[in-house]
Structure 1
Amino acid sequence: MYLSSLRELALGSRLKALSDQFYQAVDEVYKACGAGIESRWFPVLRYLRDVGPTTVTDMALAIGQTHSAVSQLADRLVDAGMVVRQRDPQDGRRSVLALTGAGERALGALGPVWLAIRRGMTESLGPRGLALLEAIDGCEQALIERPLVAAILEQRARLSRAAVEIVPFEPGLREHFRRLNQQWLERYFRVEEVDSALFADPEGRVVDAGGAIFFALYAGEVVGTCALIRESEGVYELSKMGVDENYRGLGAGRKLLDEAIIEYHRRGGRELFLESNSRLDRALGMYERAGFVRQASVRPGSHYERADVYMIYRGP
C-alpha cells in the first residue's frame, strides 16, 4: 500500500483508515444483531454507564476526545433518546450527561454482542491484535510523557542548524545512487539501458574505471548524488545528478556539482561535459552558473535518447 511506504509521515492517515474500517465493521455487526446503537456512540454510552452522570469536559478528558467532539456526539445521543442533559445536583451552574432508560436498556442487551466482537477481533487479528492494543497503550503513554508537537518542533529546530555534507561513494550507499536517479528519471523521462547498467554496477563502471560518485547527506539522510565518469584520458562526464525532491532548497545540488568540479581539477582533467534535457530548467541554470556553456548541438555519439542539451565546462 502506498501510505505504508511513507511510514511516520502517514501515521495519522493510516490510523484514520484503520479506525474507519473498525467502525464500519462494528456498525455492520450492531445492525445485523438488531442493536440500537452506533459504534461511535460506544465510548460515551459505556462511560456514562460505568461512571455515572458526567460533564462534557470530564468525559472528553476520560475518553481522549476533544470537548467539541464529545459535545456534538452528546447532541446526537440526546436526539436518539439515549442520553439526557440535566443539572448537576452538586453544582447547579453546570449540566451533566446521563443515560436515559432507553440507553440503559440498549446497553444491557449488548453483552453477547460485545463478547462476539472481542472473540471475533481475536480470531481475525490473531497475535497482531494483542500487539496492536499493547502498542496503542504504549503510544498513549509516550504522548503523555513527551507531547508530539514539542518533539517534532525540537527536531525541526535541530535540523535547521544542520548543513549538507558531501561524502564519496561507499558500498553501503549504492542503493541510494539508483534510488535518487531513478526518482527523477521516471518522473520526467524513463530509465534507459545505459542508466540500468550504471545502477547495476556503479563501482565497476564509475569508481573502478577512474571516476567518482558523491553523495549529499543532510542530518544523516542521503538526499542527493552525482557521478564524475571518466570518458577517456583527461575527459570526464558529469552525470547522474539527482536530488531528492523533498529536500530541494538546501543547496545539495550545487554542493555536489562543486565537489565534482573540484575532483575533476584534482585529477588533472582537460575536458568536463554533461548531457541533459531542455525540460530541466532549474538544473540547466545551476550548471550555467557553475561555468558550463551550452553547445550549439547535441553531443556526437550521445549516450542518451533523452539528451537534447550538450554543455562543456569552461570555468567560473
Structure 2
Amino acid sequence: MNFFDNIGIIAIGTRLRMLSEKMTEDATKIYEMYNVDLKPKWFPVFYVLSQNGEKSITAIANEIGHSHPSVSKIVREMVKEQILCEKKDKNDGRKNNIALAPKGRQIANHIKDQYIDVQKAVEVTLNQSRHNMWHAIEEFEFLLNQKSMFHRVKEEKKLREIKKVEIVPYESKYRTSFKNLNEEWITTFFKMEEADRKALDNPKEYILDKGGEIIVALYEKEPVGVCALIKMDDPHYDFELAKMAVSPQAKGKGIGWLLGKAIIKKAQSLNAQKIYLESNTVLKPAINLYHKLGFNKVVGHSTPYERCNIQMELILN
C-alpha cells in the first residue's frame, strides 16, 4: 500500500518536502538544458535583483520571505561564482548593496526563453489538475499565517486532554491532595502563611463546615487541581474564590479554566451575588485566567496575606 494512502494527512509536511525535492531535481535539469548557470535555491535572489536592480540583503530577505542569514549565505555563494557583486550604497557609503555582476546580467538575458517555457509548462500542468495547486498553496499559506500548525496542534492537544478531566466534589480522601497541591504552588512563588495553614490543615472545619465548597479536578482519575469557595462574613461579598492550585505536571490542559467555571457555577447554585479573590500580579497566567472568568480589579478590602497585591471581584447575574 502507498505510504501516504496508509498514513494519511498527518504526513502533509513529508509529502510537501518530497514534492519540493522532486521539483528542485527537475529545476536543476531545466537549468542545465538551457545552459543557465544557476542553482534552484539561488533563483529568488537572482530574480529580485534582475527585476529591481541593487538591493541590501535585508531588503532581499524581506521581499522573498527568507531569513537574513539564509539570503546572506546564498549571496556569498553567488558572489563567489561571479553572478553577483557588492556595491556601496549611493546614499550611505557605509552600507553595501547587492547587484548582478556582468555574468549575472548575461544570465538574465539568456534565461528569458526558459521563463516562457516554464510558465507555459506550469500552466498546462495546473489546467490538467482538478484542484489548482497554486491557489491551494496561497490559501494554505494564508491560513497558516493566521495561526501556525504548531498552535493548531497545541489547541487540538488541549481539547483532547480536557476531555479526560473530571471535576468532582471534595471528599476526605482528597485532603492530602488539597494540601499538597496548594503547598506546592505557594512555596514555588511565596511562603506559607498562617491563613494558608488554617485552610489547608483543616479544610472541613475552616471551609466546608462554614458553608463553603471545595472541588477537585481529576485527570485520568488522579487529582491534579483543586479550588475552594470560602464563605465570607462580609456585607459586600458572599464567597471568596481561594486555594486554586493545579499540578505543574498538568499545566496547559485548561484545568484552571474548568475549575474556575465549575466553582462559579457552584456559587451561582448557592445564590451568590458577588465573589471575591486575592492574588499577586507575579502570577500572570492566573491573573489572565481571572480576567477571562469575568473578575475585575477592586481595592480597599483588608487581607490576612502578605503576598496579596491585587484584589478582584466577580458580580454574578
TM-score (structure 1 length as normaliser): 0.47
TM-score (structure 2 length as normaliser): 0.47
